[in-house]
Structure 1
Amino acid sequence: MLSKKNSKISSSITLSITAKAKKMKNEGEDVISFGAGEPDFNTPKNIRDAAIKVIEGGQIGYTASSGLPELKRVICDKFYRDNRLDYEIENIVVSNGAKHALFNTFQAICNEGDEIILPIPYWVSYPELVKMAGAKPVLVETREEDGFKYTKERLLNAINKNTKAILLNSPNNPTGTVYGKEELQEIAEIAVENGIYIISDEIYEKLIYSGRHISIASLGDKIKDLTIVINGVSKCYAMTGWRIGYAACNKEIAKIMTNIQSHATSNPNTVAQYASIEALSGNQDAIDKMVDAFIHRRDYMVKKVNSINNLSCRRPEGAFYVMVNISKIIGKKLNGTEIKGSMDFAQYLLDTVKVAVIPGIGFGNDNYIRLSYATGLENIKEGLKRIEEAIK
């Protein structure tokens, strides 16, 4: 008999849809994909050059399992500079991407029967990562009219003696939601009063379009000690394939995570670690250029979506996704195809107009689809034009 626990793990809908769209495109079909969870920009040259220098210098052996001390120091500097958070290198664990950092986190803090509070919509991997740790995901619905944010009432109703942590993702995938200081303070007070960990996924930290990012860990020593901050270089530095993420937390949790990683994967990619030192400490102009491009694309996409009959969306404050409300289409027929939910609608768009979108059911809400604007503006214009024609 195979593993009962892991046999229940679902595949990633986002990755499967994206793979199908790529396959169609490779076969010569004119597919436009809104599925990408990665910037469509090249990794900045200074970062690429740093990697080449390391490769040519031969510094590519094993490192400490939790990451290069030099990289950890740069990460500590980044936290102090950007978030006013004071960490030592013993608080930092560098992993094979932010998803790996999340995996380590759940493995380190969870016991059988523990509960982790997740928001709906959620990033597709959150519930599965919780299950892999032997814990139970407890889903709390967030409403569009509330900006897809936790409310105090709903959080308190979800907490019980088995609650181990609240997961917070700001800026958020898939909604683009960004939590403000007062909202974070309210969540922090709940966590401190109940002795609950906060897992704060801040991977889209620098892709924020007004104001500045606030880490919940910066709101006081008590909440800092309860918070595991997850971040990385993939989204903000266009380094998705380099696979470097990191966690910052109290030393006891960091030690357990390090031990887990030492047996599971050893160290993260050595070349990518050196490149990440340059990413975090070098010239940051490339981020500003990406943000400017994303703002322009977002504004076009939001305006266009809201002009299409039976579709609507709110304006995201960060990341590079738009959650499109398709509830007015569900239950109707489009060219003879009955749309029972977001999977039907996504399949209909791919089959009829060669547009790939991510169905909202993968994020826990069947009334939506997710569109990524991490693609060129011309693609966005053509793709939305095709969606409008498909609905007409």
Structure 2
Amino acid sequence: MRVAALIVAAGRGRRALQSAGTAAPSDSGADETPKQYRQIGGAPMLSHAIKAFSAHEAVTDVLVVIHEGDQERYDGIAAGLEGALDKLRPAVVGGSHRQDSVRSGLEALAADAPDQVLIHDAARPFVDAALIQRVVESLKTTMGALPCLPVTDTLKRSKNGIVTETVDRAGLWRAQTPQGFRFQDILDAHRAAVGLSMNFTDDASIAEWYGLPVAQVEGSEANQKVTTNEDFVLAEARLTGTTRLDGLRVGSGYDVHAFGDGDAVVLGGVSIPHDKALSGHSDADVVLHALTDALLGAIGDGDIGMHFPPSDAQWAGADSAVFITEALRRVTERGGRVINADVTILCEAPKIGPHRDAMRSRIAELLGVTLDRIGVKATTQEGLGAIGRGEGIAAMATVTISLM
């Protein structure tokens, strides 16, 4: 019985280079190494999957599907894989979509076809021998085998940012790889699916469409997919037993503005009715100004005054969201993403409590993170100093970013 492992490593992994909601840079100085070639535990992520399948006694062949521009990167990995070379076939070039890449790999294997094939994503470096064995064992009695884990979180459906219903999670499972099949069956299914407009997100979905029964086998919580920069930090910690503190940066910011004439203040992107307004060249939002400085400080890129000087007329009355957006772009260019932000507002009035959640929501939206990663607090100065006398408002901000 010959069992081939087909490892798909032809993607670009763009999400690992960006923060949520932002585009990955194409001409920046950020490290744009595709994620499968980035280091985890002192070795490229792809190498971990190759070693796992090569070391398994049931696996007779290992074939990796790569991007057309990655041959040199791949050759560097393969040359250092002692003990894996006997099973490792020459890599083949994939296509523009995962489905095309898998089919390219299957066609390459067809010249000397195995009995079974295990199709695995290179972004899952923690596949272990026990999981591989469960899939192989299942294929003795089934045409397809899919490792799954139960969905344990409550599921919601939303529209335009508003939750519309709770989805029943009974019978729902999270699919993993490797997904195993009898070789000729899955090759025939992929060939039949060429040219269809259907969105096949994995090989089990192609098998289902083709009419191949796919059995469920027990997955592994350890077999997590590495997608974002934060995933890389966690993966590094798991493999080395330490936290990659060198990939974490902390920045702080402070801003203060005096009161002037007006009927509202803008704090954290939220307009709050008040008998005065804050005086400044832009909208004088001390919260977003402090956050901007914190973002810039985390990457050592100057301050808000350097990038948005008050002497420049274009910033007169500007919405401070533009400052946050530009600072976040600079973070993203360096391969960073925001982990969390915390703000303290110093003022006697207005009351911050009623507007706290609105500010948190707006800041979370601007930074591309979930609400639970944003803190907004307020305190008075107990009548001390200019803030205590009600002459203005100040804000302090701290931001943590992952910079890989």
TM, length-normalised to structure 1: 0.23
TM, length-normalised to structure 2: 0.23
Choose 1 or 2 for highest CA Rg. 2
Query: Relative contact order, CA 8 A, sep 6+: which one is greater?
Result: 1
The answer to which structure has the higher helix fraction is 1
